Amino acid sequence: GEILHFVADPAKVAEEASYQYFEDGLLVIKDGLVDAVGNASDLLASLPDTIDVSRYENGLIMPGFIDTHVHYPQTEMIASYGEQLLEWLENYTFPEEKQFADIEHGKRVAEFFLTQLLDAGTTTALVFGTVHKESVDAFFTIAQQKKLRMICGKVLMNQNCPDDLKDTTESGYADSKALIEKWHNTDRLQYAVTPRFAPTCSTEQLNKAGELLKEYPDVYLHTHLSENKNEIAWVSELFPDSDGYLDVYDKSSLLGRRSVFAHGVHLHDHECQRLSDTNSAVAFCPTSNLFLGSGCFNLQQAEAFDVNVGLGTDIGAGTSFSMLTTLNEGYKTQQLRGNKLSPFKSFYLATLGGAIALDLEGTIGNFVKGAEADFIVLDYNATPLMAKRIARCKNLTEKLFVLSMLGDDRHVKATHIMGEKI
Ligand code: GUN
Ligand code: FE
């Protein structure tokens, strides 16, 4: 079938140089890893005829989608009505998260969440747990059974939230450390130190998170940043000695190559410069930003400062598990800003861009030799409207655009994990 993958950011090189596309392509997999990708006619000749060949007609094979910001415990509260960020947290989110003290509840939700992700074609995600360490044990247990590459962490929060959702600086540190020792780099699982966001963490707790990053230099840092105007004003009241929101995290040494900040809707130029200088990443979460009325992410500003950007669903403030639907709304947020988001850039963000944001280039996100063979097949004929509209497309650019406007989980025909169809 058709194969597409990216080798560079289309905003940084000539667009045609950013991807490889094979109209009649072959993806060769050996022991769960990519062995080769190319034209079927060229590659088949060089392979023994004992190999198994699967064919996918009328579709597009591409790397699995990478969701760089999502909350698994918020799966069942998706589409909660009427609020913006701070009220939404108080009225819906915190009550929902209390249930995750029970590991069995966590496992049930993790099972459903991961099934939804895989059905939507997402094969790797950077995932929030809750304050309970059990929520992360539950998540990793299920992700490990499914042989997935997943990153998760226990939420750190010791202030400005309900008492039964508070940890302490010391317990948060100790629980995180125990989870790192237990899970980090076990199979394809990795840990993210996860302070919820500045308002729910004392300076001492943020500093302790920074200490964990020093002790374990290859774990991730995952938090929220500059999502909502009221949130930003609150941060400047709570942290009067800081020079803005990002600086609160910077003062605790939380920026770096494996740090991912969700949203960044209202960033100053100097903050983008600092994110870029430290090689930190931002997760662009359009369905969430629209749903909570947070604003439209300034992708051009992030590009101008060469900030790593991935795409996130931010379930349950986001409204779809589908990265195709997320690209649809992402395009529209950029239209509102007068920025024409190219379909190549869109699919780059959903795959290789996410891998780079997570410091996993070469491991996932494209089909370079040795990459893990987590890939999906998009089906042009899954729905009558898609089939009709694709038939009118004159080139790959148009096909990708139509996929990103009309596509959703119905168009994900197959998801493969380490080569195996699931
Ligand atoms: N900021 C702090 N917590 C959250 C959360 O759970 N969701 C979103 N969207 N923003 C947050
Ligand atoms: Fe979030």
Q: CA 124 from chain center: how many Å?
A: 7
**Global ipTM:** 0.99
| Within a domain: 362 | no
Q: Looking at the DSSP assignment, which residues form a beta bridge with residue 262? A: 224, 283
* Cβ atoms 258, 222 nearer than 8 A: no
Does the pTM exceed 0.90?
yes
- Residue 49: what pLDDT? 85
If one residue of 91, 94, 100, 196 were mutated to test the ligand 1 pocket, choosing by the most ligand atoms within 8 A of its CB, it would be 196
Whether the Cβ atoms of residue 224 and residue 259 lie closer than 8 Å to each other? no
Q: What is the CATH number of the domain that holds 16?
A: 2.30.40.10
Same-domain check for residues 94 and 16? no
Residues 384 and 238 in one domain: no
Of 308, 332, 357, the domain-final residue: 357
Domain boundary among 330, 357, 384: 357
Q: CB atoms < 10 A from the CB of 255, how many?
A: 21
Look at the chain and report how many structural domains it folds into: 2
Same domain flag for 346 and 240: yes
C-alpha dihedral, 341 to 257 to 139 to 34, nearest 10°: 70
Please tell me if the CB atom of residue 161 comes closer than 6 angstroms to any atom of ligand 1.
Answer: no
Q: Based on the domain organization, do 59 and 70 belong to the same domain?
A: no
How many alpha carbons fall within 13 Å on the CB side of residue 16?
Answer: 1
DSSP 3-state of 165: helix
Q: Are residues 150 and 245 in the same domain?
A: yes
Domain holding 408, by residue range, is 2-63+367-421
Q: Are residues 32 and 97 in the same domain?
A: no
**Does ligand 1 have an atom closer than 6 angstroms to the CB of 188?**
no
Mean per-residue pLDDT of the chain: 98
User: How far is the C-alpha of 421 from the C-alpha of 384, rounded, in Å?
Assistant: 25
State whether the beta carbon of 274 lies less than 6 angstroms from ligand 1: no
Residue 245: inside a domain, yes or no? yes
The residue from 310, 333, 357 where one domain ends is 357
> Do residue 322 and residue 389 come from a single domain?
no
- Do 81 and 48 share a structural domain? no
Is 331 part of any domain? yes
List, in order, residues 6 or more apart from 55 with CB less than 8 Å away: 1
pLDDT digits (tens, 9 = 90+) for 149-165: 999 999 999 999 999 99
**Contact residues for 325 (Cβ-Cβ < 8 A; gap 6+):** 287, 319, 407, 408
Query: Parallel, antiparallel, or unpaired: how do β-strands 155-156 and 189-195 relate?
Result: parallel
Residues 319 and 377 in one domain: no
Residues 219 and 345 in one domain: yes
* pLDDT (average), residues 349-362: 98
Atom of ligand 1 nearest to the CA of 197: 2
Regarding whether 259 and 289 lie in a shared domain, the answer is yes
Same domain, 298 and 203: yes
Cis peptide before 316 (omega within 30 of 0): yes
State the average pLDDT over residues 30-53.
93
